Amino acid sequence: MAQKTDPIAVFDSGMGGISVLKEMVRLMPEEDFIYFGDSLHAPYGTKTTEEVRKLTIGHIQHFIEDLHAKAIAVACNPATSAAVRMLRQMYPDVPLVGVEPAIKPAVLACSHPRVLVMATPVTLKEEKFHHLEAIYDEQAEIIPLPCPGLMEFVEKGILEGEELEHFLREKISPYLEKDLTGIVLGCTHYPFVRREIRSIVGSSVEIFDGSLGTARELLRRLTVAGLHREDNHKGTVTFLNSSDDPDKIRLSAYLFSREI
């Protein structure tokens, strides 16, 4: 049986889920976290649903059964779509959350929203995205923008500079004349390049990501399950990675320490 003092596991195919981890640590500083990046098998966005599901379920089983994680955050869009429903059936008593593009807050933020959704091509093809788009399509102009290659900048630790700026300008500039009200960062990697995006779109366009919403939902589920730690313990964060490259752990710690 899970204990309040057991850790929370946060899972992603690489480094992007650290943006979600940061919000969880801010919201729940008393909790211990294990962050696992599956860099050995990244990116998940180019794999089949069956491959992503098999990898994700295998890792989550390890977190729960071997590392005694009391709760799970799947901080990866392809993994969420492929595996979260099945994982909830496998572990009905484990608080478990996934991620989704923050379209709802972007649409509700103003009266005539025009929202650019930046995401991986795979995320924009997924049923989850089309379902969200259909819900808010009559309330807003929702513009999907596939950004193949952007997550790779973050995976390499490239968070600023001419190469990244050129990439982003080429992607975003055609839409600036549409009087955008918001941009949704539909991949957990993208908040790490928020500053560069802000420099291109200016201060009048609000930028949204789902990290805080995911953190709040995990806290809610922990509380309902009676597993939220409420003592004065100073929480810890442990970084793990499937790759044997030590730079992956160093980059994880760097991204966690960086303001976004």
Which residues are marked as active site? 76, 187
Ordered strands of the 71-74 beta sheet: 96-97, 71-74, 8-12, 33-37, 237-241
Rounded to 5°, angle at Cα 110 from 108 and 112: 105
* Whole-number Å distance between alpha carbons of 169 and 155: 20
Burial of 68 (0-12, 13-18, 19+ CB in 10 A): middle
Q: Two tokens at 146?
A: 């596939």
* Whole-number Å distance between alpha carbons of 107 and 241: 36
| 51 alpha carbon, distance to own chain's centre | 19
The beta strands (E) that lie in 114-189 are given as 114-119, 141-146, 182-185
* Whole-number Å distance between alpha carbons of 82 and 52: 6
